[in-house]
């Protein structure tokens, strides 16, 4: 099992205090326990309905997931699989509905995505996009190491679901290698722009604990053909040019392995979001959901700015969360945002001590806490106002959302 409010600092030094407890719009994501689905890690998404469709249909991809009996009030005895999926719909008549899915093998719950012919490895979905209604999922190839619960990400693959409208048990899933590299992981966030899918990746294995980010891209034509090793078409932004096999330039120098990305209004550029418990420059365990913006995906990206604090980590007892709750994987969900609000999801977990680290050992006190604490290890959603600030002359900037 891996990794586990207020103040929007903005352009022109404008600070706007926003509440993370406001009422959510009717189509904001929600992840109730049902069908025996008892919580999953992270939540990347791919909107598979047309942008002008009356009902918003979205596929969701979760990491480690507990599966038990329907109606369970705790996770004791539940199975733990490495990934599951869900299909949500939202329309004016029925509001938000969601249905979860996983596979069954030998009568037991099983992951939807599994590395073909790679014994000992498993997949965590980190990012996803939809191209013409077909979902493409960027997967970290991961394996457990040593005798405990430590893990190592050893590469990146892409999965394509060719019949996403079918029952999950009938999905036709194709896999392609992306990068067989333990240092550069192109999977933190992804978005379609022009003739490419742009993928924010992270660097791991450095002497310091940070995971700085770079940007890569794949031609849509390569994804649609889905033949051979996609890494042969993967271009890295080197700081001056796009180069297949190039040394990527570091564009964001702090830490995040999972992010969200979306366009800014009026073609003003791009925004990313992230939340990581151990964040350089933050004291203790970080509760800060940060954003950065850029006019171009190649950067330069702005310095990070505080968007909102995860309320679960503030006054934990008062909020019903036990000490040791940490939150992470803050992802913008643009299909649920509006011209005035950002939609963002994230997940909380329990670290009884920092030494517990980002994943949990079977039979440990940490696992027992998670089994009983049903308010963690399930994606949470916030709707955060996107301020419309004015500059010192009282005139609205042409692109007021860009951080400078």
> What's the average model confidence in pLDDT over 31-46?
97
Share of the chain above pLDDT 70, in %: 86
CATH architecture for the domain at 8-383: 5 Propeller (2.115)
- The span from the CA of 53 to the CA of 120, in Å, is 42
pLDDT at 280: 92
Nearest Cα to Cα of residue 36 among 101, 85, 90, 83 = 101
pLDDT at 388: 59
Burial class (CB in 10 A: 0-12, 13-18, 19+), 170: exposed
Q: Do 328 and 313 meet the contact criterion of CB atoms below 8 Å apart?
A: no
Report which of residues 385 and 360 the model is more confident about: 385
For 117, other C-beta atoms within 10 Å of its C-beta total 6
Share of the chain above pLDDT 90, in %: 68
The pLDDT-based confidence of 10 (bands split at 50, 70, 90) is: very low
The pLDDT-based confidence of 392 (bands split at 50, 70, 90) is: low
pLDDT at 1: 45
pLDDT tens-digit readout, 120-141? 899 999 999 999 999 999 999 9
> What's the average model confidence in pLDDT over 366-387?
89
pLDDT at 17: 28
pLDDT at 51: 66
Nearest Cα to Cα of residue 200 among 141, 261, 113 = 261
pLDDT at 391: 55
> What's the average model confidence in pLDDT over 252-262?
97
Tell me how far CA of residue 307 lies from CA of 19, 91, 131, 229, 387, in angstroms. 11, 28, 29, 38, 11
The pLDDT-based confidence of 265 (bands split at 50, 70, 90) is: confident
pLDDT tens-digit readout, 185-213? 999 999 999 999 999 999 998 877 789 99
11, pLDDT greater than 50:
no
> What's the average model confidence in pLDDT over 358-372?
73
pLDDT at 395: 56
pLDDT at 148: 57
Report which of residues 397 and 376 the model is more confident about: 376
pTM of the model: 0.90
164, pLDDT greater than 70:
yes
Tell me how far CA of residue 62 lies from CA of 72, 124, 355, in angstroms. 20, 8, 25
* Length of the chain counted residue by residue: 404
pLDDT at 56: 85
pLDDT at 12: 26
> What is the spatial order of strands in the sheet that 341-350 belongs to?
325-332, 341-350, 380-385
Lowest-pLDDT range of 24-33, 175-184, 196-205, 339-348: 24-33
pLDDT at 22: 34
Which sequence spans correspond to the domains of the chain? 8-383
Report the Cα–Cα distance between both ends of the chain, in Å, rounded.
38
pLDDT tens-digit readout, 296-331? 999 999 999 999 999 998 777 667 888 889 999 999
pLDDT tens-digit readout, 214-242? 999 999 999 999 988 999 999 999 999 99
Q: Do 40 and 33 meet the contact criterion of CB atoms below 8 Å apart?
A: no
pLDDT at 41: 95
6, pLDDT greater than 60:
no
Burial class (CB in 10 A: 0-12, 13-18, 19+), 377: buried
Q: Do 103 and 110 meet the contact criterion of CB atoms below 8 Å apart?
A: yes
State the SS3 of the chain: CCCCCCCEEEHHHEEECCCCCCCCCCCCCCCCCECCEEEECCCEEEECCCCCCCCEEEEEEECCEEECCCCCCCCCCCEEECCEEEEEEEECCCEEEEEEECEEECCEEECCCCCCCCCCEEEEEEEEEEECCEEEEEEEEEEECCCCCCEEEEEEEEEEECCCCCCHHHCCEEEEEEECCCCEEEEEEEEEECCEEEEEEEECCCCCCCCCEEEEEEEHHHHHHCCCCHHHHCEEECCCCEEECCCCCCCECCCCCCCEEEECHHHCCEEEEECCCCCCCCCCCCCEEEEEEECCCCCCCCCCEEEEECHHHCCCCCCCCCCCEEEEEEEECHHHCCCCEEEEEEEEEECCCHHHCCCCCCCCHHHHHHHHCCCCCCCEEEEEECCCCECCCCCECCCCCCCC
- The span from the CA of 282 to the CA of 310, in Å, is 14
For 169, other C-beta atoms within 10 Å of its C-beta total 10
Report which of residues 2 and 78 the model is more confident about: 78
Q: Do 278 and 287 meet the contact criterion of CB atoms below 8 Å apart?
A: no
Nearest Cα to Cα of residue 292 among 251, 242, 327, 344 = 251
Q: What is the residue-averaged pLDDT of the chain?
A: 87
CA dihedral 73, 79, 82, 84 (to 10 degrees): -60
401, pLDDT greater than 90:
no
């Amino acid at each position: 099992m891996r990794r586990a409010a207020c103040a929007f600092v903005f352009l022109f030094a404008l600070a706007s205090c926003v509440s993370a407890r406001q009422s959510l719009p009717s189509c904001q994501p929600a992840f109730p326990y049902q069908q025996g689905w008892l919580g999953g890690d992270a939540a990347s998404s791919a909107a598979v309905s047309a942008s002008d469709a009356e009902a918003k249909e979205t596929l969701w991809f979760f990491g480690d997931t507990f599966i038990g009996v329907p109606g369970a009030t705790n996770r004791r005895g539940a199975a733990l699989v490495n990934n599951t999926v869900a299909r949500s719909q939202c329309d004016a008549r029925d509001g938000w509905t969601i249905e979860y899915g996983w596979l069954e093998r030998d009568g037991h719950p099983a992951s939807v995505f599994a590395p073909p012919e790679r014994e000992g490895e498993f997949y965590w979905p980190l990012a996803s996009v939809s191209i013409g209604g077909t979902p493409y999922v960027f997967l970290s190839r991961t394996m457990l190491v040593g005798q405990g619960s430590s893990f190592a990400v050893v590469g990146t693959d892409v999965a394509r679901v060719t019949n996403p409208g079918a029952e999950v048990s009938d999905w036709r899933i194709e896999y392609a290698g992306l990068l067989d590299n333990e240092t550069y992981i192109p999977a933190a966030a992804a978005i379609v722009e022009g003739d490419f899918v742009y993928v924010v990746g992270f660097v791991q294995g450095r002497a310091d604990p940070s995971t700085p980010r770079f940007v890569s891209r794949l031609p849509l034509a390569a994804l649609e053909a889905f033949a051979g090793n996609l890494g042969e078409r993967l271009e890295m932004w080197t700081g001056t040019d796009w180069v297949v096999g190039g040394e990527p330039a570091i564009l964001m120098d702090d830490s995040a392995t999972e992010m969200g990305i979306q366009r800014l209004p009026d073609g003003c550029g791009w925004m990313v979001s992230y939340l990581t418990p151990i964040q350089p420059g933050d004291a203790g365990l970080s509760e800060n959901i940060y954003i950065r913006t850029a006019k171009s995906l190649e950067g330069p990206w702005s310095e990070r700015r505080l968007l909102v604090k995860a309320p679960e980590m503030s006054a934990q007892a008062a909020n019903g969360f036990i000490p040791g709750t940490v939150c992470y994987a803050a992802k913008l969900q643009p299909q649920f945002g509006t011209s005035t609000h950002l939609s963002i999801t994230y997940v909380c977990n329990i670290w009884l001590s920092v030494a517990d680290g980002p994943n949990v050992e079977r039979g440990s006190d940490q696992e027992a806490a998670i089994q009983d604490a049903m308010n963690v290890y399930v994606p949470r959603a916030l709707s955060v106002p996107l301020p419309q600030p004015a500059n010192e002359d009282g005139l609205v900037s042409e692109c007021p959302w860009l951080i400078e």
